[in-house]
């Protein structure tokens, strides 16, 4: 069987490397007599590369070669990835991608192209890098109704938060360190503002709940406003701050889905996920909480997930795997402020005691947080559990405080 | 499609419950027009049970009914489970089991019966209860060579160790509490002596490394000798004691496999697995460490794993899934004392200072451990990394100490 790889960057070259290194066992597992990379599509030149003879610049060579049964898309970005992948699926080729932006924006449509042409469109590597998560959700948990899913889905922000929590490093210094280590890009916006995590929770929510969730329908908040004071107050509360993508089935058939910094309690599985690691918690009605942990990015982990999908395509030639979802109705994702949870609040105050007394009067019982060396010009507390819109209304009615930080407390 | 369930105990009745409760989505996912439990085999009577009309006592009714395509075995024990499962496979019926004893003892043979008859023999529920692990290993990690696997595979012992570590409860009291909570049986031998974990690591090692590992070839040590002093010393070292099943590929094509109490360092993913939870760490050459966490036992988690396998059988009618392994050569599992790791030692001493000086002389540098209130009549320390047989030889040459506890330090 012949494979084409589109995009010879970090992941694409890793795919070729894994296919070469573990060639014999991969052929065996694919139940094919052979499994060979025939073309590598990239506009750049790679002089001296061992795979130079396979390099092409014209997509149509892949499209028109009937020997190419599986196409790997590791180009990233929406265009021309979308056009290339659509054409391949329509030409009866299975496609494997690691491109979360593509799946989050066009997954529903591409899955329907795959179904129409009885080929597979697989994207295990698009979420959680090397962590098996798409396939366990769609297969192993087939006997469960999934109620909820939550994950640390972005390694860059988790590294930054870990440095802030464990080394007392400021956000700026931690970001700089992440960039120096190659964990963050020069323009870190997609990571630190939560867009990357948003694409991933969209893919997971689409898969878990059966209808496409588009990134622009998901309230997304990054970690740029988290301060070391927040870290210290939350530590005093017994928790840690993590950037979580979360999605939950609501009783009315709609879903709740957000990406925000969130508090998880120490001792929980998600709390001990540090550095660039990712973890995804799936809450099933029969199975309870199941957590999948591993490297969420990196050349070889991601490549190994892509190759596992290639093997799956090889084994399922002419046989569409039952992964898919439909389009959602309007307003499928509910207003995030309807969710119920306790809120952590840090606010500037003029008169601490007066503010506390008014908070207690208007918001109800709160747990006041302090740490050694905290300022008397700010107050930090956690409210009782309540609907966010109502809690915010009450908080806004308190005079003499200026809210500087609001973080949701989770029950993970 | 018709299903028969053999054994209407905790898991079996859970299987029927999940199949009933999530019936519609399960039928859809199974790509069958219907999926119905036709028979429940159990020698006991269940008067008033909603499924009373399906109860039978004669196995031959299942064997001879061609409408029964998938048989669930949740009886437990080797006999007659082995005879029944063999007969079903030979009669062209797929079998799903949660019976770890059966898979560990007869897996290789039963898988070959399945292959000969082009049916499936699946056993996701036999390890890790509701945690998807068998399928992710065989599919998602297909692109990896697995180098090593380690797991907290027994919920009962993990609960006992958690109570000892977190509540300072003695082994006896913790066992009693586990029994009172229904986590441990009246005769807890299979759990506390490590036999249950041994069966599970045998199944995992067989799957990961391709050759059947029999329980009697795996050195197995339980947790009955762990004392609260050990817990405190290991805490001072920065670790926690867990009962781990471990298996590792050796360079000579053989494997290392043991079940023993082992030290994992605080902050690692396995260290925060508490109470009755299980977790399994898979170390792949491309993916790095991946950890799967969840409830390792219990009616609904285990049942959901069984039902996921039933769905998989339904979707793969007439199509053998490529799970399987061969028989191993003799001495496939190496002597456990050839492994290299640091050792934690607690020993009774007559003269602390003299003993320490002789230990340093004969064993080399060690890290001495103390905790507030520890006795001067015993010494606890961790050696440098070395081959266990050689370390033990050196330790045995030290005069004036009586070794009371030896626990291996892992790098998880």
Q: Is B403 on the interface with A (CB under 8 A)?
A: no
Domain boundary among A264, A295, A326: A295
Phi, psi of A149 (to 5 degrees): -145, 140
pLDDT tens-digit map of A108-152: 999 999 999 999 999 999 999 999 999 999 877 788 889 999 999
Strands A386-387 and A401-409 turn out to be: unpaired
Whether residues A29 and A119 share a domain: the answer is: yes
Local confidence band at A176 (pLDDT 50, 70, 90 cut-offs): very high
Contact assignment for B308 to A142 by CB distance below 8 Å: yes
Whether residues B341 and B233 share a domain: the answer is: no
How confident is the model over B315-332, as a mean pLDDT? 90
In a domain, B247, yes or no: yes
In a domain, A321, yes or no: no
Question: In chain B, what percentage of residues exceed pLDDT 70?
Answer: 100
In a domain, A328, yes or no: no
pLDDT tens-digit map of A291-349: 999 998 889 999 999 999 999 999 988 888 888 899 999 999 999 999 999 999 999 99
CA distance A31 to chain B (A): 9
- A139 vs B144, B292, B312: nearest CB: B312
Local confidence band at B320 (pLDDT 50, 70, 90 cut-offs): confident
Please state which of the ranges A41-55, A128-142, B268-282 shows the lowest mean pLDDT: A128-142
Specify the pLDDT at position B29.
85
- Euclidean distance between CA atoms A212 and B30, whole angstroms: 22
- Exposure string over A144-160, b if 16+ CB within 10 A, otherwise e: bebebbbbbbbbbbbbb
Strands B146-152 and B219-220 turn out to be: unpaired
Whether residues A13 and A98 share a domain: the answer is: yes
pLDDT tens-digit map of A190-216: 999 999 999 999 999 999 999 999 999
Which of A200, A254, A299, A321 is flagged as catalytic?
Answer: A200
pLDDT tens-digit map of B6-42: 999 999 999 999 999 989 989 988 888 899 999 999 9
The answer to whether residue A354 scores a pLDDT higher than 90 is yes
Q: Is A31 on the interface with B (CB under 8 A)?
A: yes
Whether residues B224 and B342 share a domain: the answer is: no
How confident is the model over B392-404, as a mean pLDDT? 96
From chain B, the residues in CB contact with A293 under 8 A are 269, 290-293
Q: Which residues contact B353 (CB under 8 A, 6 or more apart)?
A: none
Specify the pLDDT at position B179.
96
Kindly report the average pLDDT of chain B as a whole number.
Answer: 95
Whether residues A50 and A196 share a domain: the answer is: no
CA distance B269 to chain A (A): 7
Q: Is A141 on the interface with B (CB under 8 A)?
A: yes
Specify the pLDDT at position B357.
96
Residues of B forming the active site: 200
Residue B53 CB burial class (10 angstroms; 0-12, 13-18, ≥19): exposed
Q: What is the chain B residue with the closest CA to A125?
A: B140
Specify the pLDDT at position A25.
86
In a domain, B323, yes or no: no
Specify the pLDDT at position B229.
97
Please state which of the ranges A281-295, A333-347, B99-113, B310-324 shows the lowest mean pLDDT: B310-324
The answer to whether residue B140 scores a pLDDT higher than 80 is no
Q: What is the chain B residue with the closest CA to A292?
A: B292
- Determine which of B142, B281, B296 to mutate to test the interface with A (most A C-beta atoms within 10 Å): B142
Specify the pLDDT at position B378.
96
Whether residues B276 and B393 share a domain: the answer is: no
Whether residues A43 and A92 share a domain: the answer is: yes
Specify the pLDDT at position B310.
97
Specify the pLDDT at position B203.
98
Q: What is the chain A residue with the closest CA to B271?
A: A272
Local confidence band at B301 (pLDDT 50, 70, 90 cut-offs): very high
Local confidence band at B82 (pLDDT 50, 70, 90 cut-offs): very high
CB A134 within 8 A of CB A127: yes
Residue B221 belongs to domain spanning = 134-295
Strands B94-97 and B239-249 turn out to be: unpaired
What are the structure tokens assigned to B92, written together?
């062209």
Kindly report the average pLDDT of chain A as a whole number.
Answer: 95
In 3D space, the residue among A127, A405, A398, A176 whose CA is nearest the CA of residue A280 turns out to be: A127
CA distance B280 to chain A (A): 10
In a domain, B278, yes or no: yes
Local confidence band at B138 (pLDDT 50, 70, 90 cut-offs): confident
Local confidence band at B321 (pLDDT 50, 70, 90 cut-offs): confident
What are the structure tokens assigned to B326, written together?
């061969």
In a domain, B327, yes or no: no
Question: In chain B, what percentage of residues exceed pLDDT 90?
Answer: 90
From chain B, the residues in CB contact with A141 under 8 A are 132, 304, 308
Whether residues B55 and B25 share a domain: the answer is: yes
Whether residues B141 and B237 share a domain: the answer is: yes
Whether residues B28 and B162 share a domain: the answer is: no
CA distance B291 to chain A (A): 5
Q: Which CATH number belongs to the domain containing residue B255 in this structure? A: 3.30.360.10
Q: Which CATH number belongs to the domain containing residue A70 in this structure? A: 3.40.50.720
- Euclidean distance between CA atoms A90 and B140, whole angstroms: 26
In a domain, B351, yes or no: yes
Contact assignment for B288 to A308 by CB distance below 8 Å: no
What are the structure tokens assigned to A383, written together?
């409210």
Specify the pLDDT at position B143.
85
How many domains in chain A?
Answer: 3
Question: In chain A, what percentage of residues exceed pLDDT 70?
Answer: 100
Q: Which CATH number belongs to the domain containing residue A362 in this structure? A: 3.30.70.1150
Full 3-state SS string of chain B:
CEEEEECCCHHHHHHHHHHHHCHHHHHHHHCCCCCEEEEEECCCCCCCCCCHHHEECCHHHHHCCCCEEEEEECCCCCCCHHHHHHHHHHCCCEEEECCHHHHHHHHHHHHHHHHHCCCCEECHHHCCCCCCCHHHHHHHCCCCCEEEEEEECCHHHHHHHHHHHHHCCCHHHHHHHHHHCCCCCCCCHHHHCCHHHHHHHHHHHHHHHCECCCHHHCEECCCCCCCHHHHHHHHHHCEEEEEEEEEEECCCCCEEEEEEEEEEECCCCCCCCCCCEEEEEEEECCCEEEEEEEECCCHHHHHHHHHHHHHHHHHCCCCCCCCCCECCCCCCECCHHHCEECEEEEEEECCHHHHHHHHHHHHCCEEEECCCCCCCCEEEEEECCEEHHHHHHHHHCCCCEEEEEEEEECCC
In a domain, B321, yes or no: no
The answer to whether residue A267 scores a pLDDT higher than 90 is no
Whether residues A104 and A19 share a domain: the answer is: yes
Contact assignment for A132 to B140 by CB distance below 8 Å: yes
Contact assignment for A130 to B284 by CB distance below 8 Å: yes
Whether residues A169 and A216 share a domain: the answer is: yes
């Amino acid at each position: 069987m012949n494979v084409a790889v589109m995009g010879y960057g970090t992941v694409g070259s890793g795919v070729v490397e894994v296919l070469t290194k573990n060639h014999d066992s991969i052929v065996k597992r694919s139940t094919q007599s052979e499994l060979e990379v025939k073309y590598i599509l990239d506009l750049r030149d790679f002089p001296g590369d061992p795979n130079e003879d396979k390099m092409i610049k014209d997509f149509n060579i892949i499209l028109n070669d009937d020997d190419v049964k599986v196409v790997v898309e590791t180009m990233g970005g929406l265009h021309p990835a979308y056009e290339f992948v659509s054409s391949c699926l329509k030409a009866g080729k299975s496609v494997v991608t690691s491109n979360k932006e593509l799946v989050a924006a066009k997954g529903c449509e591409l899955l329907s192209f795959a179904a129409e042409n009885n080929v597979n469109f697989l994207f295990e590597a698009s979420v959680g890098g090397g962590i098996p998560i798409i396939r366990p959700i769609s297969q192993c948990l087939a006997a469960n109704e999934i109620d909820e899913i939550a994950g640390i889905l972005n390694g860059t922000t988790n590294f930054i938060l870990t440095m802030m929590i464990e080394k007392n490093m400021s956000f700026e210094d931690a970001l700089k360190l992440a960039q120096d280590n190659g964990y963050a890009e020069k323009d870190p916006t997609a990571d630190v503002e939560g867009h990357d995590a948003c694409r991933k929770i969209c893919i997971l929510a689409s898969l878990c709940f059966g209808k496409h969730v588009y990134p622009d329908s998901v309230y997304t908040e990054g970690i740029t406003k988290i301060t070391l004071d927040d870290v210290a107050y939350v530590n005093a509360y017994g928790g840690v701050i993590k950037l979580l993508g979360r999605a939950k089935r609501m009783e009315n058939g709609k879903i709740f889905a957000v990406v925000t910094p969130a508090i998880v309690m120490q001792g929980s599985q998600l709390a001990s996920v540090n550095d660039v690691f990712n973890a995804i918690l799936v809450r099933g009605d029969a199975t309870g909480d199941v957590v999948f942990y591993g490297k969420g990015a990196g050349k070889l982990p991601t490549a190994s997930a892509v190759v596992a999908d290639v093997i799956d395509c090889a084994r399922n030639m002419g046989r569409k795997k039952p992964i898919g979802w439909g389009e959602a109705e309007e307003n499928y994702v509910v207003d995030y402020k309807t969710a119920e949870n306790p809120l952590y609040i840090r606010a500037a105050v003029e008169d601490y005691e007066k503010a506390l007394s008014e908070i207690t009067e208007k918001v109800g019982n709160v747990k006041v947080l302090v740490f050694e060396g905290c300022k008397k010009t700010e107050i930090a507390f956690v409210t009782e559990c309540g609907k966010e819109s109502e809690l915010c209304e009450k908080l806004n009615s308190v005079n003499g405080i200026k809210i500087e930080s609001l973080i949701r407390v989770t029950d993970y």
